[in-house]
Structures are given as structure tokens and as C-alpha cells.
């Protein structure tokens, strides 16, 4: 199965866009999850958990998710996972709120997200 990365992290795009199909989108964390959900409705399958890592959705603006490049019939398990992830992320973001970060912190979060997705790709 060939990987397809959806991300709002420019470092992930720069690192993997020549090796994998990458959709780099300048959108919010929650919008990344919604975009992934739309792809799952088209028959893609989740290959990484949308809430992977120990960073809560309201603690970082960056998210990268790997889905299958190929499409098939709707994968109900993938759909349930992404829907639950959207609900969970929405709770964190709307109840606790997004934090504001300086440029150094944003760079750190980009590197953390790149590392998380890189570890998934190695496996």
C-alpha cells in the first residue's frame, strides 16, 4: 500500500513531497482532520491515527496524517476513528482554546510533527 500524506506542516511537505503523494494545505489542525475525513469518504483508509503523539490538539497548530493512496470501498473503521478524532479535537480546541505561539515555538512544533510522521513512515 502506498502512502499519501495530508499535512499543514511545511516541513513534512518539504521532506516527503518527492517520495510520497503529499497534500500540503494551509489550514487549521481541525480542518486537516476534516479533509482526511472527506478523503476517507472517497475510499481512502487511515494508516496512522489522527491523534497520534502525546500533544493535545489545542497544543499545536500542526498535524500530519497518512492515508492509503489507493481507494476502495468506504472503510467504516477509518471513518469511525476520524469522526471520533474530530470530536475529541473539537472539544480540546473549543473548551480550552488555541494557544498563541511565537515563531520559535511554531518551528519546534513543526519539527515534532515531522518526527512523529517520520517514525510512522519508518515502520
6-54 residue pLDDT tens: 999 999 999 999 999 999 999 999 999 999 999 999 999 999 999 988 8
Least confident of 7-21, 74-88, 94-108: 94-108
Kind plus residue range of the DSSP H or E element containing 16:
helix 10-16
CB 96 within 8 A of CB 58: yes
pTM (global) more than 0.75: yes
What is the residue-wise DSSP string for 36-60?
Answer: HHHHHHTT--BSS-TT-SS--GGG-
β-strand pairing of 64-68 with 3-7: antiparallel
- CB-based contacts of 43: which residues, under 8 Å, 6+ apart? 71, 72, 73, 74, 75
Rounded mean pLDDT, 93-107: 82
Amino acid at each position: 500500500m502506498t502512502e499519501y500524506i495530508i499535512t499543514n506542516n511545511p516541513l513534512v511537505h518539504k521532506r516527503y513531497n518527492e517520495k510520497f503523494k503529499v497534500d500540503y494545505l494551509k489550514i487549521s489542525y481541525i480542518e486537516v482532520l476534516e479533509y482526511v475525513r472527506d478523503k476517507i469518504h472517497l475510499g481512502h483508509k487511515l494508516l496512522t491515527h489522527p491523534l497520534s503523539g502525546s500533544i493535545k490538539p489545542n497544543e499545536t497548530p500542526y498535524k500530519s496524517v497518512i492515508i492509503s493512496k489507493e481507494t476502495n470501498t468506504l472503510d467504516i473503521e477509518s471513518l469511525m476513528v476520524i469522526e471520533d478524532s474530530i470530536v475529541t479535537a473539537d472539544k480540546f480546541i473549543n473548551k480550552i482554546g488555541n494557544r498563541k505561539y511565537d515563531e520559535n515555538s511554531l518551528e519546534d512544533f513543526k519539527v515534532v510533527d515531522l518526527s512523529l510522521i517520520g517514525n510512522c513512515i519508518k515502520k
